[in-house]
């Protein structure tokens, strides 16, 4: 029995667009921007969508477990942070889905994913290095300072 994913035609077109923009000789992911995705959807698939719908399709595909997205925020030489397009990669589930739909390029991607899972492909960082870099848990002193700061909110400034 084949798994059923509630994906419409635009989401299929997004998947195919991202696969077509991948450089399979080097990196099995794409760094195509939302605007370029929209441009390619219009040109190749005759799908004219707004930015918001492109983001929603991406979120839905992430939620279905077919792709992953890694935001990138490089630090400039003057210390500011610049946001650039995210890296979009297919999960094994997503690649198998594409193979079931007859996308031949997905076979190459699956081979790359399996090689990485078997530690034969050393181009990617270790799994623990790719985990989310969220806020670390606060110690007791940090919690005390945070509570004191929160209590000050809404009170008039002294002086």
Q: What is the pLDDT of residue 39?
A: 94
Give the span between the Cα atoms of 7 and 64, in whole angstroms.
9
Helices (H), the chain: 9-20, 34-45, 51-63, 92-100, 105-117, 140-152
Q: What is the pLDDT of residue 131?
A: 45
Give the span between the Cα atoms of 123 and 35, in whole angstroms.
28
Segment 114-138, tens digit of pLDDT: 887 787 655 554 554 444 444 455 6
Q: What is the pLDDT of residue 140?
A: 76
pTM given for the model: 0.67
Domain extents in the chain: 9-73+82-128
Which CATH number is associated with domain 9-73+82-128?
A: 1.10.10.10
């Amino acid at each position: 029995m084949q798994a059923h994913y509630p994906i419409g035609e635009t989401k299929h077109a997004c998947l195919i667009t991202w696969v077509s923009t991948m450089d399979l000789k080097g990196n099995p992911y794409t760094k195509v921007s939302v605007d370029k995705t929209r441009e390619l959807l219009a040109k190749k698939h005759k799908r004219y969508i707004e930015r918001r719908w492109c983001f929603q399709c991406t979120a839905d595909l992430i939620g279905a477990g077919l792709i992953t997205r890694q935001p990138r925020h490089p630090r400039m030489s003057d210390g500011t942070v610049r946001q650039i397009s995210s890296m979009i990669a297919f999960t094994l589930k997503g690649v198998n889905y594409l193979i079931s739909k007859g996308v031949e390029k997905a076979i190459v991607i699956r081979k790359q994913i399996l090689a990485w899972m078997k530690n034969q492909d050393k181009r990617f960082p270790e799994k623990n290095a790719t985990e989310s870099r969220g806020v670390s848990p606060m110690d007791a002193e940090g919690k005390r300072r945070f509570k004191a700061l929160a209590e000050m909110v809404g009170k008039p400034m002294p002086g």
